[in-house]
């Protein structure tokens, strides 16, 4: 599909060699011809006017008109009265094909992929309002590179929000804004590596690929530590040489268990005894159903815990805004690493998020989404009860995913493959295990971006698979 430009003439880069002896007209014709043949200019795409291209190339307009006329005669260009000159149909080569892995997947009846919120419920009007307000009121100085830690306005608002909602010990001076969890994790591990840490532990099951990649980039060794019904096994952690650990204490990813109170205390004691740091991923704590709120671990040991949060689950991943609530000993180094990494997260987006939160619109959105996800959770449970009543489901007290425990003898990979043949996306928990083991066979059912009707129809289509009857 050709690019549709505005009324302003599009620019076109053509290189001319004024000292090489070749006539300029020949060079312009050749440059245009090659741009079309190679696909730089696609079928239907508009060319600059002869006047504009002549001005850009510093040649006469008549020369450009002669080139256009010659290429039109050759079938490369087409001109209609009252319309711009465009690349003719059938001219040029076909656009390069997307690599196989990037081709759009066929439409699924239901796609239970994990970690994705309801993208269609993004509060567009509220966000546009916040952006306009931020742009209208921001000082000119805020258009500069600014503080490496991020916008002072957003850090002040975040500190208040985290104290109020997450029971954090939050000082704006110790918050560093980042571009999402992955960047934040990489920055923290880089700082810890500089401080002499050589290995980082992570929950198993958990996020072995994400932690492993960040650890490798920082030159650290990643160590898997098992998780049980009470959360991470702190005794097993103490048996490793790790001086850092990545945990999801409020709602363990992916099992959904909350770190037991005695484990919280034990984890903090381990960090103090080992001179270690806990990296707390507070990824979806805003959404809970059958239990009271669970505060951040950081509130127990602000000098030992880096609390990381983002708006990827509460608003949308595309915003790429996250934050690190840092121990005072790490805040300066993290800000320096962030500065060297990318010179800062976009300031206008930070100010817009601050306006969204302090206006109350963010809280209103979260209340609406809690009701939405609660409704989908209920539909999921009803559908599973109707089509796979013997299936055990866990991890539903918070967030927008569940763990389905498949019957004994059922192969996880066969279920996900067969489900895809029925136009339903199911995903095994093996991708969350360090060993990639498919036993015991379990599925992670994400329902954040699946409507209630799609949930019901999708589970009905794979009910026999989930029940182990196929």
Residues 313 and 384 in one domain: no
In degrees, rounded to 5, the angle at the alpha carbon of residue 200 between the alpha carbons of residues 197 and 202 is 165
> Which of 97, 115, 157 has the alpha carbon at shortest distance from 363?
157
pLDDT of residue 103: 46
**Domain match, 19 and 3 both:** yes
Domain finish residue from 338, 361, 384:
361
Q: 406: which 2 tokens?
A: 């498949």
CB 259: neighbour CB atoms within 10 A? 24
Which residue has 């006047």 as its token pair?
Answer: 51
- Model confidence over 326-367: pLDDT tens digits? 999 999 999 999 999 999 999 999 999 999 999 999 999 999
Residue 396 is assigned to a structural domain of this protein: yes
At 99, the pLDDT band (50, 70, 90 cuts) reads low
Residue of 114 and 468 predicted with greater confidence: 114
Tell me, what CATH number does 51's domain have? Answer: 1.10.10.10
CB 429 within 8 A of CB 256: no
Our CA angle for 283, 288, 293, nearest 5°, is: 85
- My answer on whether 202 and 152 are in the same domain is yes
**Domain containing residue 58:** 1-98
Same domain, 312 and 378: no
Model pTM score: 0.85
Whether the pLDDT of residue 234 is over 90: the answer is yes
Rg of the Cα atoms in the chain: 28
Q: Are strands 305-310 and 231-232 parallel, antiparallel or unpaired?
A: unpaired
260/375 same-domain check? no
Written as six digits, the tokens of 463 are: 């009910």
Pair 173, 213 in one domain? yes
Among 309, 343, 361, residue at a domain's last position: 361
Buried b (16+ CB within 10 A) or exposed e, 51-60: ebbbeebebe
Lowest mean per-residue pLDDT among 95-109, 250-264, 334-348, 432-446: 95-109
Same domain, 281 and 371: no
Write out pLDDT tens, residues 291-326: 677 899 999 999 999 999 999 999 999 999 999 999
Task: Return the CATH number at 346.
Answer: 3.40.640.10
Residue 101 clears pLDDT 60, i.e. is over it: no
Please count the residues of the chain: 470
Strands 392-394 and 401-405: antiparallel
Q: How confident is the model at residue 6 (pLDDT cuts 50, 70, 90)?
A: low
pLDDT-based confidence at residue 189 (cuts at 50, 70, 90)? very high
| Mean local confidence (pLDDT), 79-91 | 82
User: Number of C-alpha atoms within 13 angstroms, CB side, residue 143?
Assistant: 6
pLDDT at 240: 98
Q: Please state the rounded mean pLDDT for residues 360-387.
A: 96
Closest CA to 297 of 252, 256, 272, 265: 265
> Is there a single domain that holds both residue 379 and residue 462?
yes
- Does 128 share its domain with 147? yes
* CA dihedral of 230, 232, 236, 238, whole degrees rounded to 10: -120
Name the strand (E) or helix (H) holding 444.
strand 442-446
């Amino acid at each position: 599909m050709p690019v549709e430009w505005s009324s302003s003439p599009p620019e076109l880069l053509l290189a001319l060699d004024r000292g090489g002896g070749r006539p300029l007209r020949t060079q312009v014709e050749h440059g245009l011809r090659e741009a079309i043949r190679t696909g730089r200019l696609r079928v239907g795409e508009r060319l600059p006017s002869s006047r504009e291209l002549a001005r850009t190339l510093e040649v006469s307009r008549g020369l450009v008109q002669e080139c256009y006329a010659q290429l039109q005669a050759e079938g490369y260009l087409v001109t209609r009265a009252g319309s711009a000159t465009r690349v003719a149909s059938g001219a040029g080569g076909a656009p390069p094909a997307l690599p196989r892995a990037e081709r759009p997947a066929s439409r699924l009846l239901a796609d239970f992929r994990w970690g994705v919120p309801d993208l269609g419920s993004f509060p567009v009007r509220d966000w546009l309002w916040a952006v306009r307000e931020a742009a209208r009121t921001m000082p000119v100085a805020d258009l500069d590179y600014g503080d490496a830690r991020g916008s002072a306005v957003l850090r002040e608002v975040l500190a208040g929000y985290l104290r109020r909602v997450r029971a954090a010990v939050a000082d704006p001076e110790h918050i560093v804004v980042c571009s999402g969890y992955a960047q934040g994790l990489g920055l923290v591990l880089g700082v810890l590596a500089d401080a002499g840490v050589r290995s980082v532990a992570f929950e198993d099951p958990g996020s072995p690929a994400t932690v492993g990649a960040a650890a490798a980039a920082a030159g650290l060794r990643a160590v898997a530590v098992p998780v049980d019904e009470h959360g991470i096994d702190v005794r097993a952690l103490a048996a490793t040489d790790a001086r850092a650990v990545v945990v999801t204490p409020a709602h363990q990813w992916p099992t959904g268990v909350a770190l037991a109170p005695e484990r919280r205390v034990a984890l903090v004691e381990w960090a103090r005894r080992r001179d270690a740091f806990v990296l707390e991923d507070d990824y979806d704590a805003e959404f809970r159903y059958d239990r009271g709120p669970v505060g951040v671990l950081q509130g127990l040991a602000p000098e030992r815990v880096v609390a990381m949060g983002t708006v990827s689950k509460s608003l949308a991943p595309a915003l790429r805004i996250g934050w690190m609530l840092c121990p005072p000993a790490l805040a300066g180094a993290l800000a320096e690493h962030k500065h060297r990494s990318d010179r800062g997260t976009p300031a206008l987006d930070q100010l817009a998020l601050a306006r969204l939160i302090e206006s109350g619109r963010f809280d209103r959105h979260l209340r609406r989404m809690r009701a939405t996800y609660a409704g989908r959770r209920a539909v999921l449970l009803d559908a599973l009860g109707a089509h796979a009543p013997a299936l055990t489901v866990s991890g539903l007290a918070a967030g927008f995913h569940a763990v389905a425990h498949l019957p004994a003898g059922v192969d996880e990979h066969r279920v996900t493959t067969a489900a895809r043949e029925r136009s339903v996306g199911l995903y095994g928990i093996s991708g969350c295990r360090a060993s990639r083991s498919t036993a015991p066979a379990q599925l992670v059912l994400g329902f954040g971006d699946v409507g209630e009707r799609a949930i019901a129809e999708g589970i009905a289509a794979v009910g026999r698979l989930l029940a182990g009857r196929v």
